[in-house]
Amino acid sequence: MKRWIKLAAGVAAITLATAGCAGSSGSGNTQASSNAPAAQGGDITVWLMTGSAPDSLTTALNKEFEDKHPGTKVKYEVQQWNGIQQKLTTALGSQNPPDVFEIGNTQTPQFAAQGVLADLTSSVNDMNGSQWLKGLKDSGTFDGKQYGVPFYAANREVLYRKDMFEQAGITAPPTSNDEWLAAIDKLKAKFGSDPDFQALYLPGQYWYTLLSFIWDQGGDIAKGDGAKFTGTLDTPQAKAGLEFYKKLVDQSGTKAPKDNDESNPAQAGIYGAGKVAMFIGTPGEVATAAKTDPSLKDKTGAFAIPGKTAGKSAPVFLGGSNLAIPVNSKKQDLAKEYLKLLSSAKYQGEIAKGGFVPGTSTDISALDSDPYASVMAKASQNGRAVPSSPKWGDVEAGQNPLKDMLTAYLTGKKTVDQATADANAALNKLLG
């Protein structure tokens, strides 16, 4: 996994640690799960990550759980993202793991493939399964079985200068690709005499944004057949998504580097300098930009990443967390009861109040009052996950073929056909 995002203003950062777990394969999930003895009392250990849930939520949750299960105590521990990969690898391979733990959504298939997660397929309905956020549900699925329960999510949106839009005569945020390009032209016509102005800041290796365009065109990164995945970056749909990315870069005249991503340099800092009308980011990046210019909090608005069809936003990549139960937990029945309570509307509503998109509830009304989080939450309903391959961490942690493809195509070193063919071959090597 890659360090990911900062979420809604005032909410703690989500940091997803680097992947590359090589822990014990464990025993077969079904057999180990069925043989695990049901615990009737004693302690249950729960690991959640720092910044994931407010103390008010976990205090109430743990008390209610203990009241419903007399004789059971919740040993609640807050973990740090830094070093969590190795800590989980060690814990899940032992005979004394936590009974419930939080895991990054793109880490879930990797641990599931190692046989260290309990199969929760039969418990989905008990955990509010009909309300699950689809993108997170998919990320917790491996080889046709459910191993992760959605916890919370966040996604990207277009953050823009309302004052610049008004001065350029743009009366409403764009709702289609064509309207977006037209808005860029109006902004350039109004402010283009300033050599430092950028209608849209779009780094060349911002592959999370590329995913939206590929998915919107009906394409994907890879397709799965059971646990096997094959790259699909060379399909006409994927190429169309890449071509639209280039169109945005070329037409906007962005000065962002074509050989780096949104973190280098940090795009919120570029926006904070006051010469950028739009960038694609997360709600928390507004607060970061406002450290340079506090007036940006009032000047900034948000709209969903437009799609090719007017009025229909593009799919977005969902980052966030799932909840899981170790296959070696001796208290799986109690652990499932804990997840059942945490996935209820009552506690998922508290997640939403904290600025996150709830993973097991479609009620996002608690986010309505936040102009950035509300847009994010609505777009999340059309959210997607990266391929649920156990080797996806190798894609992000290594020489990411998607980044190389973008740079090669945007700089003209490769045609769209060659760039996608080479990236697809590299992806197949990593996932195969």
- Per-residue pLDDT tens for 191-216? 999 999 999 999 999 999 999 999 99
Query: In this structure, what token pair is assigned to residue 393?
Result: 């961490």
For residue 12, report the phi and psi dihedrals to the nearest 5 degrees. -65, 160
Rg (CA), the chain: 22
79-91: pLDDT as tens digits: 999 999 999 999 9
Residues of the chain with CATH 3.40.190.10: 29-154+319-384, 157-317+399-431
Q: Are 339 and 323 in contact (CB under 8 A)?
A: yes
| Predicted confidence (pLDDT) at residue 10 exceeds the cutoff of 80 | no
Question: How many Cβ atoms are within 10 Å of 70's Cβ, its own excluded?
Answer: 7
- What's the pLDDT score for residue 186? 98
Cα angle 375, 105, 267; round to 5? 50
Cα 78 vs. chain centroid, distance in angstroms? 21
- Tens-digit pLDDT profile for residues 103-115: 999 899 999 999 9
pLDDT value of residue 226: 78
Residue 15 has pLDDT above 50, yes or no: no
Mean pLDDT of 383-398: 92
- What residues have CB less than 8 Å from 118, skipping those under 6 apart? 29, 32, 33, 36, 147, 324, 325, 326, 327, 329, 332, 335
- Neighbouring-strand partners of residue 76: 46
- How buried is 127 (Cβ within 10 angstroms: 0-12 exposed, 13-18 middle, 19+ buried)? buried
- Give the separation between CA 280 and CA 302, rounded to whole angstroms: 9
38 pLDDT exceeds 70? no
Q: For residue 65, list its beta bridge partners.
A: none
Q: Are strands 357-358 and 149-154 parallel, antiparallel or unpaired?
A: antiparallel
Residue 369 has pLDDT above 90, yes or no: yes
Question: What's the whole-number average pLDDT of the chain?
Answer: 90
Min mean pLDDT across 4-8, 117-121, 427-431 is at 4-8
Q: What topology does CATH give the domain 29-154+319-384?
A: D-Maltodextrin-Binding Protein; domain 2 (3.40.190)
Max Cα-Cα span within the chain: 72
Which H/E stretch holds residue 5? none
* pLDDT at 346 > cutoff 70: yes
Supply the pTM of this predicted model: 0.89
Q: How much is the pLDDT for 19?
A: 33
Domain at 157-317+399-431: CATH architecture:
3-Layer(aba) Sandwich (3.40)
pLDDT for residue 18: 31
Whether residue 72 is predicted with pLDDT greater than 70 in this model: the reply is yes
